[in-house]
A = this chain, B = another copy of it.
């Protein structure tokens, strides 16, 4: 039960990642599979957020999770243990991001005919993952309160490419100088259309909203 598949990802050989990503997105569309690319800093709470959210959607959607990390399989094991959802670990061999071909290598190990939604938990990094289209339908990111409300000023590309920003650990807001209104303003500077959902993965606050967003997204992707 605790054993999870660990895939060693190889460096891509494709020169044109954008083209490859579009191709992958089309293949997934044909198979009726929605891919979400979830990014954040190290320790922002991607895995805990996923666990709470998966528990809310697993009776409504068939889901698989791919956990990308430079090393270790702690996240894939955690997800599998807490939710029972198929979860594989992708080792990037020191690489700081995933591109479309690396994502495809992971997807080759997922039974795509048996899932509606694959969530890719990207490497914890606010810089490089933003530069590479993975082939996902949407990019989402988690900004955690202890990181500070000024992150959209410092990591502009990450906030520009994300359609959804989850502001996590709102329970500790009283202990940090974090201004949610200011944060919203900075996020909107980078991406005026971004949806922002304050959450607390630990208590479950806001996870219903994230789950509803996911359900609506997958439904629309399968219908259109």
Residues of A within 8 A of B (CB): 41-44, 69-72, 74, 94, 96, 123-128, 131, 144, 146-148, 150-151, 153-157, 169, 171-172, 175-176
Chain B CB within 10 Å, residue with most, of A41, A123, A128, A148: A41
Q: Determine the distance from Cα of A196 to Cα of B216 in the docked complex, in whole angstroms.
A: 47
Assuming the contacts A42-B151, A71-B156, asked whether A126 and B124 have C-beta atoms less than 8 A apart, the reply is yes
Interchain nearest-CB distance for A184 vs B (Å): 17
A123 to chain B: closest residue by CB: B127
For this chain, the copies found in one complex come to: 2
Q: Determine the distance from Cα of A172 to Cα of B154 in the docked complex, in whole angstroms.
A: 24
Which residues of chain B have C-beta atoms less than 8 A from A147's C-beta? 41-44, 146
Assuming the contacts A127-B125, A128-B96, asked whether A169 and B146 have C-beta atoms less than 8 A apart, the reply is yes
Question: Top 8 nearest A-B pairs by Cβ distance?
Answer: A43-B147, A146-B146, A96-B127, A72-B153, A43-B148, A41-B42, A41-B41, A42-B126
